[in-house]
């Protein structure tokens, strides 16, 4: 496994991602995942709104944007999987290079920009999946959409995925789509939340809806969003998305590393968001994500009020072994 991870790091980041996940898919199709990653069913289960999370560890959105790897990721032992972010229309994302690795810090900066194959492609994958665990879908808006069209994008995705999603995560916090984080402002998130609330009610979607938040907003803004989440009967938050703050990232030179930072340097900021949320509403259901790479950082999320935890960057650096490390 160590040799494979070293080999993958020699490849450009997006090529490495493609090779690793497609190799995992091959192992799944050959029924060899349990041979290479012989994990038992361990970890404490969680019940929420009729969903049974077999353990508290999930894979965050961004790793499998299009639902191409649901079954193979599920076979590794995750308690839940979140796919996306998905948009109504396929889009290529931002220009390359757009992913930068910092191995000594187990960190990544990405400015992908919601590159995905579109919601209709994802729906086909959702219909065809064999994975029986909890599956969430993270939804967003196309880059060119503004104003009411942006809200319409969220609703289109919402309506198309709810027949197949165990929960929906509303992504208002990616730093890589122009002005998306403006949805943290009340005049922008209230119309969006109201539209999702109405669509949910009209279509009798009783499963959870979560709001994915940025770690870069102040407490006053977060407090306003939390109040609105309760007003519109949403079910909780995901804390957090990546940060544009590179203060904890160590690198030399003057290269432009604009984009969202994930991995170990994100831990403190994502934990601060959990603290704020827990202070304002201890009862709100929280999924913690950001900076988890060992047992200690995993436990920190629960100590700060999270009921579930997701990983992303540590899975890329450490491979499937991280699952056993965190849960056993």
Give the up-direction half-sphere exposure of residue 41: CA atoms within 13 A in the CB hemisphere.
Answer: 7
Q: Pick the catalytic residue: 16, 72, 145, 174?
A: 174
Burial (CB < 10 A; 0-12, 13-18, 19+), residue 6, is: exposed
**Alpha-carbon gap, residue 289 to 35, rounded angstroms:** 29
Alpha carbon 215 to its chain's center: 14
Task: Please identify which residue in the block is written with the tokens 């496994």.
Answer: 1
Residue (of 286, 299, 293) closest to 266 by Cα position:
293
Cα distance from N-terminal residue to C-terminal residue, the chain: 19
193 backbone dihedrals φ, ψ, rounded to 5°: -60, -40
**Alpha-carbon gap, residue 205 to 286, rounded angstroms:** 20
Say how many residues make up the chain: 328
DSSP state string for 118-182: -HHHHHHHHHH----SEEEEEE---TT--HHHHHHHHHHHHHHHTTT-SEEEEE---TTSTTGGG
206 is catalytic: no
Q: What angle do CA 105, 106, 108 make, to 5 degrees?
A: 105
DSSP state string for 45-61: -EEETTEEESSSEEEPT
Give the H or E element holding residue 316.
helix 313-318
Give the H or E element holding residue 28.
helix 13-29
Task: Please identify which residue in the block is written with the tokens 């977060």.
Answer: 222
Active site residues: 174
């Amino acid at each position: 496994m160590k040799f494979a991870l070293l080999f993958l790091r020699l490849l450009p980041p997006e090529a490495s991602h493609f090779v690793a996940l497609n190799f995992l898919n091959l192992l799944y199709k050959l029924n060899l995942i349990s041979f290479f990653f012989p994990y038992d069913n361990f970890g404490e289960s969680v019940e929420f709104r009729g969903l049974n999370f077999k353990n508290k560890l999930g894979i965050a959105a961004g790793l499998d944007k299009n639902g191409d790897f649901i079954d193979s990721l599920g076979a590794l032992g995750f308690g839940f999987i979140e796919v996306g972010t998905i948009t109504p229309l396929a889009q290529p994302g931002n220009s390359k290079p757009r992913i930068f690795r910092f191995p000594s810090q187990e960190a990544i900066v990405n400015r992908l920009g919601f590159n995905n194959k579109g919601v209709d492609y994802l729906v086909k994958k959702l219909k065809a999946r064999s994975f029986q665990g909890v599956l969430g879908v993270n939804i967003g808006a196309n880059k060119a959409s503004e104003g009411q069209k942006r809200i319409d994008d969220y609703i289109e995705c919402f309506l198309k995925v709810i027949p197949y999603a165990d929960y929906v995560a509303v992504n208002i916090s990616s730093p890589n789509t122009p002005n998306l984080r403006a949805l943290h402002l009340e005049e922008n998130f209230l119309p969006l939340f109201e539209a999702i609330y109405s669509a949910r009610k009209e279509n009798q979607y009783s499963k959870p809806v979560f709001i994915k938040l940025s770690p870069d907003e102040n407490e006053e803004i977060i407090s306003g969003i939390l109040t609105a989440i309760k007003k519109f009967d949403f079910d909780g938050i995901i804390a957090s998305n990546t940060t544009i703050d590179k203060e904890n990232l160590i690198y030399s030179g003057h290269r432009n590393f604009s984009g969202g930072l994930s991995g170990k340097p994100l831990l403190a900021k994502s934990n601060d968001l959990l603290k704020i949320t827990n202070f304002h509403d201890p009862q709100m259901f929280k999924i913690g994500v950001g900076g988890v790479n060992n047992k200690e950082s995993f436990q920190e999320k629960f100590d700060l009020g999270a009921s579930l935890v997701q990983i992303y960057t540590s899975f890329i650096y450490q491979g499937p072994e991280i699952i056993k490390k965190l849960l056993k």
